Structure 1
Amino acid sequence: MTTIKSAVMSVISSDPTYSMIVSSGLCNYTSMAKRIQRTVEVMLGRQVNLNSITKALTQIRIEPRYVNIFGIVSQATLWAEYGLNELQCGLNDRLPEGSLLVVRRDGYYTCLCKTGEPGKIALIRIRTPKEASNTPGLSLFITEYLYLNGVEFSNIYRLGNEIWITSDSENAGRILSILSDMIYRSQH
């Protein structure tokens, strides 16, 4: 008979991102429990109380088997730019001056830039040490961490040793707060 604890352990250990988050001690156990509850219930063939999953999460110990993402995160710095606009232009058009981010889409470019008109988009940049540019799973870790903390954002881009996150300006402060807390907690 499979126990709740063994089912939770199986779900967590089979997902590298979940394993990293739980082994780091940076885990929001209630959010993680909500995220895996359905999978645990399917494994056990019955409904499982969220508090039981949360308790099981706090009791499991996972040895980190992956690259030391927390060492990288502990050295990260944050930067934010508010009031940006998103413009689209054709592939043969001139890109707007002052474009911070240009993404090629199917038949056009999307540009993130300041236009003189106050925009509603924020760009949050996480700068990591240079050696982090070859670390797999870093942006997936950040993405999952933000989702587990109930944060919504528009896009995430990995650019060498930087991760850029776009969001509406209203959510940017919360994203910065959560990321700042993550960096602080990874240092201690």
Structure 2
Amino acid sequence: MKTISSAVEQYIKGKPFLQTALSQGIINLTSLARQVKPDIEAQLGKEVRNGAVVMALKRLSDDLEFRATHRIIKVLKDIGEITVRSALTDYTFLVSESILQNQMRLLREIHPQKDAFYTSSRGVNELNIVVSSSLNSLVEAFFEQERLTQKAENLSSISVKLPAENVSVPGIYYFIFQRLAWEGIILYEVISTTNEFTILVDEEQVDRAFTVIKDLKSL
């Protein structure tokens, strides 16, 4: 039999921003209870008291704080090196039979340039390349015959080294990206490896994005 507590938990889990605000204790439970009460009654098929919804929210907020936020914050306190690079260009090409060969040609050309930035990721239909803007002419020459779908300039990257235990704690990336979203940071690209991720943002937003990520260590 479905209970008020299980109905409230199901409702909150479907709204990630609300779930985090609840776990951080920054939301008025009485006001929230009045708002969610009609949905809870619809789930249960009967009327419920506002006080019962408040109590369910209180128990859930305490449980969420221990189960999720506490473990995530513990990991984020051990964030390692944060590296920022500016003057980058982001290219997106459609995947073709020749695109990997052209990518190899580009890599051979830029390999001796130790100060140049280069990263790439490939999806099912697209290949993404991010380079120092000084390499734009090379990219455009080698990929002249490829189909360019997007080009964005004046970007900056922030690379973050995560502790090894990040792979065993759910919600790490959500927690980080949620805070960037709260600050209105637009992510052009997200590129990750097992213990490191890089975000690409507009140069006008890089200072704010860096502050958000740096401040995670002091939560």
Normalised to the residue count of structure 1, the TM-score between the two structures is 0.64
In structure 2, runs of 5+ residues without a counterpart are 1-6, 43-56, 94-98, 111-115, 137-152
Q: 1:136 to 1:10 in 2, by over 3 A?
A: closer
Greater Rg by CA: 2
**Percentage of pairs with the same residue:** 18
Range moving further from structure 2, 159-168 or 96-105: 96-105
1:142 aligns with one of 155, 169, 176: 176
Question: Does residue 1:65 correspond to 2:67, yes or no?
Answer: yes
Shift in Å at residue 83 of structure 1?
Answer: 0.9
Contact 1:122 1:172 in 2 (8 A): yes
Q: How does 1:11-160 map to 2 (within 5 A)?
A: 11-12=11-12, 19=19, 22-23=22-23, 25=24, 60-63=61-64, 64-66=66-68, 68-77=71-80, 78-88=82-92, 90-93=99-102, 94-96=105-107, 97=110, 98-106=116-124, 109-116=127-134, 119-160=153-194
Q: Deviations over 1:7-33 (max 9, x none)?
A: 98764455577545643x4x8769xx9
- Note the aligned Cα RMSD (angstroms): 4.3
3-state secondary structure, aligned to 1:85? strand
Normalised to the residue count of structure 2, the TM-score between the two structures is 0.56
3-state secondary structure, aligned to 1:120? strand
In structure 1, runs of 5+ residues without a counterpart are 1-6, 46-55
Q: 1:157 to 1:141 in 2, by over 3 A?
A: farther
Contact 2:158 2:210 in 1 (8 A): yes
Shift in Å at residue 133 of structure 1?
Answer: 3.5
Read off the aligned partner of 1:76 and give its amino acid letter.
Answer: I
Shift in Å at residue 143 of structure 1?
Answer: 1.5
3-state secondary structure, aligned to 1:150? coil
Q: Deviations over 1:68-125 (max 9, x none)?
A: 1111111113221111122356232023424532111455532111142695111111
Q: 1:95 to 1:18 in 2, by over 3 A?
A: farther
